[in-house]
């Protein structure tokens, strides 16, 4: 009993001390003019205002307090940005102050802290890795060489849909699209397929798929260690242990894959008929003693890059295609117009190819409208590297910055009828039918599905190739019917913009594969 009383006294002393410190900090903040902020509770700050879908919660607060707000998320100072003008300030004009990402505690355990690219501090290593991605791994020349991988996987997917159409089976399309994108990415990285229809469920690529899923769950969950300084060294939720377990499994598996590839490369040396995948390119760079950069790729760097590409390139593309199909089922007139465009440009005797997309402005517009309403990453996350001032407001060093691209894409100040799915808004007004200038790669700050600036997504071009070609082929080959007619558009919880409920639909064949 005495021990319990002692703990109670210590807790009360800590609570009172915390409240006093917060009161002092609040007083000092009024003197330095932080952005507008709602009432905060001791210790938890504004965490009580956040629901299971953070971007929606942020929008509600911004509707009351404005497009730049200050929040204390536990012990983490944070600002939320909800207008294109301010987004441009943070992501372009003053970008040097906001080029870092916050370090999430679980990332240190699941990834390779000194080799990771996604969360690496802005500096020489990050610049080297970004250049490597943009010029060699995900550049136009490499994407062109690996086009057959993407084309073959889309054909396999369409043949599976055709079989389901013949049997009139309902399809949970999100699962099938995830298999499609997983197969594309594993094929481009290491010439393997994830299990889809007839593959071995115990293949290395299948294991990677399951590990990536586990990784996303760990990163996407609320972690006490990231929001309360006094929890920093405690693993209350078991994330540290799970993260270390994930890392051991992934590292062991990737080591096996790399060793097998190195043995195969020795056997294949001198052959010119083998198209190099991304793993080959990375191994070539690691082996190149004359590489211009002073940074040399090691095993951990290669593993970290592969993990980053898997994470960024699989689920997000599948989610976007699923949202596009959801909207098209709800808007059959738009589906009909898109199909008419495809039939007139491509015809009815061959499948749509990636090279056709440039001549299909309405398909491009559908993709843009989907990304406006349903960006797979609705929040762009940055961190300030120094004390600075934005629009007259003080932003302390180490402040977490959330750019709410989801809210920006739905703001009535910048979009006419913003909740309406209307691809025509992205077509030129002269009646020519050409796609207008608004870019989805981060140059137009009204539309930020891939972020912007230095830390914009280096895989945007690949993602657009997969998304647009898949959407066009699905429209060309099938009529799509919802399981219960109208499709609900409810969003699910988490940091990515997944649907709350699976999209169940029936394909009806119209193109003989």
Give the domain CATH number at 388: 1.10.630.10
What is the 3-state composition of the chain as percent helix, strand, coil, each rounded to the nearest 5?
55, 10, 35
Highest mean pLDDT among 130-139, 221-230, 324-333: 324-333
What value does the mean pLDDT of the chain take? Answer: 87
Annotated binding site: 457
Q: Is the pLDDT of residue 151 over 50?
A: yes
Residue of 70, 66, 67 whose CA lies nearest to 395: 70
Q: Residues 6-60: pLDDT tens digits?
A: 445 445 545 555 555 555 555 445 457 999 999 999 999 999 999 989 999 999 9
Q: How far is CA 414 from CA 62, 72, 83, 438, in A?
A: 15, 28, 9, 13
Annotated binding site for heme: 457
442 pLDDT band, cuts 50/70/90, is confident
Which of 337 and 200 is assigned the larger pLDDT? 337
Q: Residues 253-272: pLDDT tens digits?
A: 889 999 999 998 988 887 77
Q: Is the pLDDT of residue 513 over 80?
A: no
pLDDT computed for residue 399 by the predictor: 97
pLDDT computed for residue 2 by the predictor: 43
pLDDT computed for residue 381 by the predictor: 94
Question: Using DSSP, how many helices (H) and how many strands (E) does the chain show?
Answer: 18, 9
pLDDT computed for residue 19 by the predictor: 58
Distance CA 287, CA 73 (A): 45
Q: 142 is written with which tokens? A: 């490499």
Distance CA 230, CA 74 (A): 10
Under DSSP, is residue 371 helix (H, G, I), strand (E, B) or coil? helix
Q: 180 is written with which tokens? A: 């499609």
Percent pLDDT > 70 in the chain is 88
pLDDT computed for residue 105 by the predictor: 82
Check: CB of residue 353 under 8 Å from CB of residue 465. no
Q: Residues 84-107: pLDDT tens digits?
A: 999 999 999 999 999 999 988 888
Distance CA 315, CA 236 (A): 29
Q: Is the pLDDT of residue 436 over 80?
A: no
pLDDT computed for residue 62 by the predictor: 97
Report the pLDDT averaged over residues 157-172: 93
Report the pLDDT averaged over residues 421-431: 84
Which of 430 and 217 is assigned the larger pLDDT? 217
Q: Residues 172-187: pLDDT tens digits?
A: 999 999 999 999 999 9
Backbone angles phi, psi at 297, to 5 degrees: -75, 130
Which of 294 and 463 is assigned the larger pLDDT? 463
pLDDT computed for residue 195 by the predictor: 57
pLDDT computed for residue 351 by the predictor: 96
Distance CA 246, CA 236 (A): 18
Percent pLDDT > 90 in the chain is 60
Report the pLDDT averaged over residues 362-368: 96
pLDDT computed for residue 464 by the predictor: 96
pLDDT computed for residue 75 by the predictor: 92
Q: Is the pLDDT of residue 217 over 70?
A: yes
Count Cβ atoms below 10 Å from residue 484 Cβ, excluding itself: 9
- Please tell me the total count of domains within the chain: 1
pLDDT computed for residue 238 by the predictor: 82
Check: CB of residue 99 under 8 Å from CB of residue 269. no
Check: CB of residue 224 under 8 Å from CB of residue 218. no
- The pTM score is 0.89
Domain span holding position 276: 1-509
Burial pattern 119-137, b for ≥16 Cβ within 10 A else e, equals bbebeebbebbbebbeeeb
């Amino acid at each position: 009993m005495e021990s319990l009383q002692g703990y109670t006294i210590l807790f009360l002393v800590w609570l009172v001390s915390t409240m006093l410190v917060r009161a002092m900090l609040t007083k000092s903040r009024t003197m330095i003019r932080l952005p507008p902020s709602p009432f905060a509770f001791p210790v938890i700050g504004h965490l009580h205002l956040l629901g299971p879908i953070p971007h929606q919660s942020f929008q509600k607060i911004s509707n009351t307090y404005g497009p730049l707000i200050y929040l204390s998320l536990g012990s983490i100072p944070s600002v939320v940005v909800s207008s294109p003008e301010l987004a441009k300030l943070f992501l372009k004009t003053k970008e040097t102050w906001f080029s870092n990402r916050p370090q999430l505690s679980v990332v240190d355990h699941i990834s390779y802290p000194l080799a990771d690219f996604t969360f690496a501090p802005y500096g020489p290593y990050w610049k080297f890795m970004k250049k490597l991605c943009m010029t060699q791994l995900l550049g136009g020349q490499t994407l062109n060489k690996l086009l057959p991988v993407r084309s073959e996987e889309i054909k396999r997917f369409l043949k599976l849909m055709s079989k389901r159409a013949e049997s009139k089976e309902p399809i949970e399309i999100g699962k099938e699209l995830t298999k499609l994108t997983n197969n594309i990415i594993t094929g481009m990285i290491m010439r393997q397929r994830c299990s889809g229809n007839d593959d071995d469920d115990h293949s290395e690529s299948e294991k990677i798929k399951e590990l990536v899923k586990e990784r996303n769950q760990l990163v996407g969950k609320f972690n006490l260690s990231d929001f309360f300084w006094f929890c920093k060294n405690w693993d209350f939720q078991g994330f540290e242990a799970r993260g270390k377990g994930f890392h051991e499994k992934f590292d062991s598996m990737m080591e096996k894959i790399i060793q097998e590839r190195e043995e195969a490369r020795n056997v294949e040396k001198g052959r010119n008929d083998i198209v190099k995948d991304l793993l080959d390119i990375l191994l070539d760079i690691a082996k190149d003693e004359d590489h211009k950069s002073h940074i040399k790729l090691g095993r951990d760097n290669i593993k970290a890059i592969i993990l980053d590409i898997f994470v960024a390139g699989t689920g997000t593309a599948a989610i976007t295609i699923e949202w596009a199909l959801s909207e098209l089922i709800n808007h059959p007139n738009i589906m009909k117009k898109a199909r008419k465009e495809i039939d007139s440009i491509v015809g009815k005797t061959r499948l749509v190819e990636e090279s056709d997309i440039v001549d299909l402005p309405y398909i491009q517009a559908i993709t843009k409208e989907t990304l406006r309403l349903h960006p797979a990453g609705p929040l762009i996350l940055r961190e300030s590297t120094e004390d600075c001032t934005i629009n007259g407001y003080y932003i302390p060093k180490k402040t977490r910055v959330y750019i709410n691209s989801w809210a920006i894409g739905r703001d009535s100040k910048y979009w006419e009828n913003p909740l309406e799915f209307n691809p025509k808004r992205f077509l030129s007004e002269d009646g020519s039918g050409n796609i207008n200038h608004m870019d989805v790669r981060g140059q137009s700050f009204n539309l930020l599905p891939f972020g912007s600036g230095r830390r914009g997504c280096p895989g945007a071009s690949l993602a657009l190739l997969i998304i647009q070609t898949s959407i066009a082929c699905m429209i060309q080959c099938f009529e799509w019917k919802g399981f219960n007619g109208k499709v609900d558009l409810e969003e699910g919880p988490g940091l990515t913009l997944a649907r709350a409920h699976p999209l169940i639909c029936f394909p009806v064949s119209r193109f003989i594969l």
